[in-house]
Every structure is written in C-alpha cells, then in structure tokens.
Chain A
Amino acid sequence: MTGLLDIRGLRTVFHTPEGAWAAVDGVDLTIRRGEVLCLVGESGSGKSVTGFSTVRLIDPPGEIVEGEILFDGKDLRQASDEELRALRGNRIAMVFQDPLSTLNPVLTIGEQMAEAITAHRRCTKAQITEESVRALARVGIPSPEVRLRQYPHEFSGGMRQRVAIAIALLNSPDLIIADEPTTALDVTIQSQILYEVQTLARETGTAILWITHDLAIVAELADRVAVMYAGQIVESGAVDDVLDRPCHPYTLGLLKSSTGTVRPGERLHQIDGNAPRIDARPSGCPFRTRCDRVVPLCSETYPLRQENGDRAFRCHNPVPAAPATSGEVLP
C-alpha cells in the first residue's frame, strides 16, 4: 500500500536538560492522492508535531530522529534544505491554526501571495495579480482586487484564514497540511470553510491532512481518520468504519465524550484521568492507566499494529465488534 505520502516509523523528540522526550513516537501514516485524512487526538498527543515533521519544519530543541517520510517516493528526511524549500508551499502547502498570527502584519496580502508564487516559478506581475485574484475569489473573498492591496489587520479572523488557504492553493499543491485551521474560528465560519475546503479538494484533486481534535469535523470532512494518543497512532481506517465500529477503547471513549450522544441536562461522558505527560508515559500501552478494558499484558508490552486491509489498531483487548454505538454517535 503506497500513497502520495507514506510516513514510516516517524519519531520526533524534543531535547531537554532532562533528556529527549518523544512527542511523536513511531507513527505510520499513509495519505493517498486526493483524499482527506483527519488526524485526531487530544492536545499534546503529537498531532501538530506530526504535521510539521512531515515538511521538516521542526526547530531545535525538536529533532526528527527516526523514520521515513516518503513523499511521492522520495524520502524527505534525506532531502537537502533547498529541495525542501522548493517543495514547501509548492507541492506541500500548510495552513496554520491561528489565522491572526500567520500573516505578516506589515506586508500587504498581495505581497504575501506574490512571494508564495515567485518562490517557486517565474511569473510576470500581471500573471501574479491574476492568479492571486483567482485564488482569493475561489475561497470566497469578495472584491479580491481591492483586498490584495490591504493589510491583514483589515481582515476578520475568518477572512484571514481564507487568505491563508488561498495562499496554500496558489501553486496547486499535491498535499495540504492543515493544523487545526478552524479551531480559532466561530462555528458558522468553521462550517463554511470546511465546505469550501472539501469542494476545493475534490475539484483540484489535492490531498489533505487535516489535524483536529473535533470529531464532528472528522465526520463531516474526512475520507479516512487516524486517532493519535501519546505520540502514537492507536487506530486508523475509513471514517465510517472507525466512527461506527471503533476497535480501540480510546477511540470509543472519544466518541462517547462527544456532545451529540447525550440528551440535554445529562452529564457528559469523559475519559477518566489526563493524558500522560510526555516525560511520564506509563510502560507498555500508554493508555492503560485510563483504560477500562485493561488486561495484565497491557503493562508489559505495547501492542503491535493489527492490520486488516485499510483498518489498523494497536490494542491487546480491542472493543468487540458490537453495534452498540453505531449510527447514533454523530449527527
């Protein structure tokens, strides 16, 4: 099974005076051309670090220490700085979480779009303007010609995120890595942007790695989903499959915790305890301290990946295939 992006055994650590802690601890991930993969997990589970590791935008004290990042067959861990630069923003684009801080406040939108084009190909000024206007129009920004001459502070948060997405689209990338791009936005803007991204991905055949903690987004957007916990992917597969028939107790816990499953006034379900700190992960399976299906084996070894076609999970005592949660979990 090979895709556009194949991550194998990725391990990214952060060096501290006390030692190197793995934020990403042996991640395997595949994204095929044109598909939307949602990477879901709690804060601190390593989702964003996985996203940034993919294009090697990890700054010291962080370091990618193991694994392969095969993009279109080429291992990006072996790529030179110039090869990476030429790839970033061109074949792999990114959208960040906070639209208020991703655009440079002292440069016009037009200049920030133009530099994204000229970094990768030679273009006349007229062409640059035309392409920028088209990209802004595509993400639903009215009067794009005027907007090009404006500065970020003249845009609302939602509009700025659209601009960031427009910038990501400029060079028709094969892959867009979106790191919780709608988390900072209100719900109506969020669903507009989700809808637009989905349409764009279909039209342009761009694959998307969408990092989120919101299962509602996963249900709405994803073709496939990967659930991350404590630096590892604990379960992955086609989105309906995973959401309807979770195998890993953590996935099941996440699904039960989502607000759609409870009636008004009822207590929300929660997974007991907190995610372990990066420097205090339990031996064996890192989820065992919060798991209600724990067996003695859990504290001894970390379960291996069990694969069944596109479906994979890592658990010694998986949730039995019962239709208990199917259909009613999410709207």
Chain B
Amino acid sequence: MTSYFLQRLIQSIAVLLAVSVVVFFAVYGIGDPIELLVPPQASAAERLALIKRLGLDQPVWSQYFTFLGNALSGNLGTSFVHGVPVVSLILGRLPATLELVLLSMITATVVSVPLGLYAGLNPDSRPSRIIMAGTVIGFSLPSFWKGMMLVLLFSVWLGWLPTAGRGETVTALGMQTSLFTLDGLKHLILPTLNLAIPNTVLMVRLIAAGAAEATTQDYVKFARAKGISRRRIVRRHILRTILIPVVTVVGIEFGSLVAFSTITETVFSWPGMGKLLIDSIYQLDRPVVVAYVMLTTLLFVGVNLLVDVLYAALDPRVKLSGGMT
C-alpha cells in the first residue's frame, strides 16, 4: 500500500513537470501580452520598465526556470492584469465553481441511479424507451445552446429564475456561498441543471447497460434460486457491481467539471474559475493560464488516486500494490 502511494506520487510529479513544459511554451506562443497591458499613451521608457518588471525581457527558457523555481516554493506567479498572486486569485474563484460542480454531480447521481436501474431492469417497457431516447437528446445537445435555451425558457418566457450571476451570498466556513440564501439557490438552479444534464444521461446509459448485463449473470440467477427477494437482489447484487464504472465516471467528470465548466460559467456569467480562465486567455494573462492548468492537473491526479482507492473499497479483487502497471 505504501509503495503503491509512493509510486503514484513519483508518477504524479512527472506528469506535473511534463504539463508545465507544454503549457508554459504553448502560452508563450499565443502572443505578446505587452500590447494589451501597456496603455496606448505610455512612453517607450514606461513600456520598457514594464517589460523588465514582468520579466518578459528574459529568454523563454530562463523565464521557464524562474517559474519552476518559484513554483517549487509554492509561488506560481503574479497576474499581469490583476497584480495579485495567481494562486489566491484562482482559489478565490474556486468556491463558486465548486458549489456549482458539487451540486450538479449530486443532482446527476440522484437522478441517474433510479432512472438507469429502471431502464436496465425493464428494458422493453415504454418508460425505459423514453428514458433511453431522452439520454440521446441530452447527450447530443451542445452545452452553450442548452444553457441559452434554459435561460430563454425559464428566465425570459416564464420569468421564474434569474439569468446570470451568483445572487445573494453568505460566508460559510470562510467562503462565499450561494447555497444558503433563497436568492442564491435560485441563481444556482439553471447553471447546475446545465452542467448536470450531460453527466446524468451518461450515467443513466452506463447504469442501464450495467444493470441489464448484471441481470443475465449466473450469480443473479443463483441469488434468485436461493429465494432472495427481487428488492435485495437489485440493491445488493446488481447495484454493487455496477457502482464500479459509475465511480470512474463520477471521478473523471468531477475533475473535468471543476476545470472546464467554462462554457456554463460563461453563459450564466457565473464568477467561477472557468470564467476566470476565459477572461485570462483573452487578456493573455500568462501566469493565470499556466497556474490554472497546473492546478487542474493536480486536481485530476488527485481525483484519479481517490478513484483507485474507491475501487479497492468496492471490488475486493482489486488490490493496491506497487509494481508497474
């Protein structure tokens, strides 16, 4: 177990290093931020001073090693645009994204498990066919269009829900959150829904396929031959086995939602990390983009490790041990 974690740790560091190289040089190649940062009326001397202060006069490899050295001591740089350390800038936006993502993952799980089980266990019934057809639609519609349609329907036509922003927030556990005010919750509904739909339909399909396959297994027939009630067979024998692929998807999707809820945050002007990333790319705010990708990588590495640990908890045949995989 210990050697397993040690090995994973070394792998993680290698991944982070590789990503840092790719991102740093890619962002360098996008364009020169100085044109956007310097006001048009600034003098040549002011311009040169700014270039020097931001370290943009150094060759690119020297800039990279300066970044790497700083990163090792926990400093991922300072935003060109905002003038504050990027880590605190990004982490400051994290709660808004996190509450959105958590809420949508919970919604997706709560909705998809019963729907998927029903569709998988009664594959020929009419409701199942409707559910499965619905998943295709849910999966095919692009996120930005869905978001705008939700706004159109619930905000513009029906006037039930607000179109954008976080609404009224309160401070809980040292973070701003919309979860505890009515206004905040109203603002959360549409973006949550928009984020939850693709994952819900993905999980419905996964669970339905898993349940349909599990019912044909010998151990399910054997359980029936033992006189086990249908309810218990579904809960203990079928659900338990199909949780494994579901955990994988929840893990991967959780990571990608935190990192790339960009579209939904943009459509709903949700002040989270995704919106920060888009704004920073437009403004060529290099340190923010690089740090964002690095933190995202760290998040994925962490979530993957967590998923592996959960596997071992769910499936007794999985043992976490060292050795190359």
| A→B interface (CB under 8 Å) | 55, 57, 85-90, 93-94, 96, 98, 101-108, 111, 115-116, 119-120, 151, 153, 164, 167
Contact = CB atoms under 8 A, between A and B. Distances in A.
A102 B316 contact: no
Contact of A119 (B226, B241, B314): B226
Contact of B224 (A57, A101, A120, A164): A57
B228 interface: yes
B43 interface: no
6 contacts: A85-B228, A86-B227, A88-B225, A89-B228, A96-B225, A105-B241
Contacts of A107: 236-237, 240
B316 A106 contact: yes
Given A86-B227, A93-B225, A105 B218 contact: no
Contacts of A90: 227
B221 A89 contact: no
B228 A102 contact: no
A101 to B, nearest CB: 4
A120 B315 CA distance: 28
Contacts of A167: 226
Contacts of B314: 106
A-B pairs, top 10 by smallest CB distance, nearest first, are A89-B227, A89-B226, A101-B218, A94-B225, A88-B227, A151-B316, A104-B219, A102-B222, A116-B226, A119-B227
Nearest to A60: B124
B71 interface: no
Interface string B179-206: 0000000000000000000000000000
A106 B241 contact: yes
B293 to A, nearest CB: 37
A102 B224 CA distance: 11
Nearest to A99: B218
B319 to A, nearest CB: 10
B225 A55 contact: yes
Contact of A105 (B221, B228, B229, B315): B315
Of the candidates B226, B232, B241, B315, the one having the most CB atoms from chain A within 10 angstroms of its own CB is: B226
B316 A105 contact: yes
Contacts of A55: 225
A95 to B, nearest CB: 9
A101 B225 contact: no
B225 to A, nearest CB: 4
Contact of B237 (A87, A104, A116, A151): A104
Contacts of A119: 226-229, 232
Interface residues of B, number: 21
Given A104-B237, A106-B240, A151-B316, A98 B218 contact: yes
Given A102-B219, A106-B240, A115-B236, A153 B227 contact: no
A121 B237 CA distance: 20
A164 B226 CA distance: 10
A105 B236 CA distance: 12
A120 B237 CA distance: 18
A103 B232 CA distance: 15
Contact of A87 (B217, B221, B227): B227
B54 interface: no
A183 B187 CA distance: 63
Nearest to B217: A101
Given A94-B222, A96-B218, A116 B228 contact: yes
B219 A101 contact: yes
B317 A105 contact: yes
A329 to B, nearest CB: 34
Nearest to A105: B317
A99 to B, nearest CB: 9
B306 interface: no
A329 B236 CA distance: 49
Interface string B305-325: 000000000111100000000
A323 B221 CA distance: 45
Nearest to A170: B226
A177 B317 CA distance: 30
Nearest to A91: B227
A146 B219 CA distance: 22
Interface string B248-286: 000000000000000000000000000000000000000
B232 A153 contact: no
Contacts of A96: 218, 221-222, 225
B223 interface: yes
B237 to A, nearest CB: 5
A277 B225 CA distance: 29
Contacts of B217: 101
Contacts of A102: 218-219, 222
A164 B225 CA distance: 11
